[in-house]
Structure 1
């Protein structure tokens, strides 16, 4: 595609890719309003029903880096269309489910489609003019947070006023619409790693390691952190990932180029991504509970699920508004500065939450500040990654970075879950997380955000490539503007 045509269509392309990311995020939060009702809906126990949430996490953790690598090999647009297939199929299977196993299968299929977001971010480097690239990356990258924030009240409203199956039929229609838009609007570009082979053994090894690790983290609190099952899964994860890493360093066309990943600029960005994920999800886990806990506790606000979602929604809207400003900050001062600023803004948001957690408007204000910081951070991470890796690895590198964010949210969920489970009060025969538990969780979120800012300061300036790297296709522009093919 020539430059004039790219410029004329870039706005529609960015809007389509941002919508794709938003829809993928909505798929993740879709079942949140149903969690309490799932045991009755599926005629199963609460512990079994929890797999409806867990399976999406596990499958997406494996499929996101694999989809990214296939995007480099087969073409990013083609892989986005392929990712839309399990999103539609999974939604239909869930809508038709009346028992646990079909629902788990459907949610697993939905998890397979989550690679759409890093693919879309990587595709921007190929189709968007340089002057619009930073803002476009920021918007599409933030779409996951936007979809999560605005998807919750929409899902709650549908679940409250209509049959729960409408949620999944609606998600199927959204996925179909997005796939049609991608087919019609997003241009096809040559695959950056065309001709290389797909690393199937690497995909299997990574799947074993990731599933073991994510399962141990997400279910450790239920099974017991010192139980044989949890410790066994951690052991399998360590062994599998070490063997996988050894193999990846010696294969010709690895699934993830660990040498590239080990470069300080990429390494510290991924480390900061994990911490940002923890910081973001801590508030997402705490805020709905504070809003919905009964007023009789003395700190709960007694809101319905729908009302709680509406109080949280402005944070998602703020992400949408801040993303273009984040792009301008990246252009002016570089993505490293934007990442540091984002982490510090998240910490300020937690500082706002601590004294105001007793009011709904205070939680809303804290959510607006925290999500503003998330928008800045999420927009800067792909810019840092794509300015540091060869064109043939952009989708795979973005997929790996997305995996790091997901790992952060999983760790955040586990840590905050343990804190809230250990610091409790009893009232009327029920056990609730205590006010001190929530305050501790907020302080953890603040502390992790500050640590992520410190880690981001260690990201080195972009080294100017030598002539040999340029000849091999290594793209590296100035830190003031992310690279573009």
Structure 2
């Protein structure tokens, strides 16, 4: 209960900061609802992570089968995000957010009931429905940009960006204790709660004043090719260890991903209204921030994947703490709290020094923290301190990413560009989780033997080095410098529309 109380107090603090300013006038009433919606989607992503072994037992499947509860969400989210962003730009972000929240609620109910009935297929289907709500993120940025006063937009964007990390961290924190008390189905009922509250709150969020929507239609061919490429890539990443990295199936999936990506690029260059304008992905204003997003996602998810595994290692092996899932959740609580508290801090740093400086500060702090965790982890007090600092680091990094992205493009491109950025976070997370597992597993002295402590040390240090690379990317010449969200896009993109 003290975790929930602390998180509630922190959330109230953030919302009060967002609603106040020099004139003490409130921000548009929709900002708290958008934050709640984004939080619910982020919570759903990682809610099963700490309880996969419990799901395997309850649903009578192997451990590799249980991982599909995580993979299914990531696949569906990666596919839905760019499509939802484009739909929001064309037909209104509020409408797409409502649809996404309805899918999140429906998926949560399906997954909860299926888990109670012991239906593995039904639970996976529910996770797919939950994953389709991933489009809430880009549309939340788009709606905020249309409805929030310019002087408060930076704080709201920072808070929305932070929700990606906060919700994900909280999902890992509460899963263990909740499963111990109420069973695995309770995790999905927990996700249904913010989904229902945000859906009800959207009824009170007015639609922005009507304006001429961007010309064009949804690029269905591009959507199909992008979906196929992402499914092949994430499937290969998530199943590489289980099937074998050199197995024909994994090689075929990687080849398919490359071929579909090439076909996607070919199509997008030739359609009148592409699903993703490739200039927004690799153009000079966004290339560095997109690379930094992918890299920092790898570093973060590598670290948060390693932490539960390390602290749950039996002490008989000479390292680890033998923690239960519930104890692991309590250990990671400081990370979630500090991620939430980092949102207003990121907004202030961005206002004073720029969003790029805030991101670099977060990435550098993450490198120090994760590297330190790999070298100093003998006492639980050390791990608690590193967890708190890691939450602050990635809270700064993720919160500032929103400002970098939104400030680099025109208003009508907000949905699709933030969708691209969200996809890169998802792909980076999958890569980071796999990288961490591969490094740790490679330290085992023989097949079937537990990993050595040196495997965790190496994996943490590598994750820290990756985070440092993210800071270096934004320090390169020509890195994007965010400008006020209300300004026009740069001449290159403006001439291309």
Q: TM-score, normalised by structure 2?
A: 0.88
Matched with 1:213 is: 233
Whole-angstrom distance in 1 between the partners of 2:213 and 2:365: 38
Does 2:324 match 1:310?
A: no
Please point out which of 372, 380, 402 is paired with 2:400. 380
Q: Structure 1 157/369 Cα, relative in aligned 2: closer, same or farther at 3 Å?
A: same
2:37 to 7, 13, 20: 20
- CA distance, structure 2, for counterparts of residue 210 and residue 476 of structure 1: 30
1:197 is displaced (CA, Å) by 0.9
Matches of 1:94 and 1:180, distance apart in 2: 21
User: 1:439-478 alignment to 2 at 5 Å?
Assistant: 439-458=457-476, 459-460=478-479, 474-475=488-489
Measured against aligned partners, the alpha-carbon deviations of 1:22-49 in whole angstroms (never above 9, x if no partner) come to 2112111222243112233222232222
How far apart in 1 are the matches of 2:57 and 2:171?
Answer: 23
Alpha-carbon distance in 2 for matches of 1:46, 1:351: 30
- Could you tell me which residue of structure 2 aligns to residue 56 of structure 1? 73
SS of 1:185's partner is coil
Counterparts of residues 361-400 of structure 1 (less than 5 Å): 361-400=381-420
Aligned to 1:242: 262
Secondary structure of the residue aligned to 2:168 is helix
Counterpart position of 1:481:
none
Q: Distance in 2 between matches of 1:68 and 1:103?
A: 27
Q: Could you give the per-residue CA deviations for residues 200-259 of structure 1, whole angstroms, max 9, x where no partner exists?
A: 111001001111111111111111111111110111111111111111011111100012
Equivalent residues of 1:10, 1:127 under 8 A apart: no
Map Cα deviations across residues 92-122 of structure 1 (whole Å, 9 max, x no partner).
1111212221111111000001221222123
- Which residue matches 1:436? 454
Deviating 4+ runs (over 6 angstroms): none
CA deviation profile, 1:267-291 (whole Å, cap 9, x unmatched): 1100000110011111101111121
On the 8 A contact 1:57/1:111 being kept in 2, the answer is: yes
What CA distance in whole angstroms lies between the structure 2 residues aligned with 1:464 and 1:355?
39
Confirm whether residue 359 of structure 1 aligns to residue 379 of structure 2: yes
Distance in 2 (CA, whole Å) between partners of 1:200 and 1:191 is: 24
Is 1:83 aligned with 2:103?
A: no
How far apart, in 2, do the equivalents of 1:42 and 1:131 lie? Answer: 50
The number of equivalent residue pairs is 465
- Match of residue 17 from structure 2: none
TM-score with structure 1 setting the length: 0.90
Contact 1:209-1:237 at 8 Å conserved across structures: yes
Cα separation, 1, equivalents of 2:385 and 2:457: 16
Q: Equivalents in 1 of 2:313, 2:177: separation in Å? A: 19
Taking a change above 3 Å as real, the CA distance of residues 294 and 314 of structure 1, as seen in their structure-2 partners, is same
Provide the rounded CA distance (Å) in 2 between the counterparts of 1:324 and 1:462: 20
User: What's the Cα RMSD here?
Assistant: 2.4
Pick from 86, 110, 113: which aligns with 1:93?
110
CA deviations on 1:64-92 (whole Å, 9 max, x unpaired) are 11111111111111111010111111111
Where does 1:41-440 land on structure 2 (aligned, <5 Å)? 41-97=58-114, 98-185=118-205, 187-190=207-210, 193-424=213-444, 431-440=449-458
Distance, in Å, in 2 between the alignment partners of 1:226 and 1:233 is 11
Q: Is the 8 A contact 1:270 1:404 kept in 2?
A: yes
Contact 1:64 1:399 in 2 (8 A): yes
Structure 2: gaps (5+ residues): 1-20, 492-497
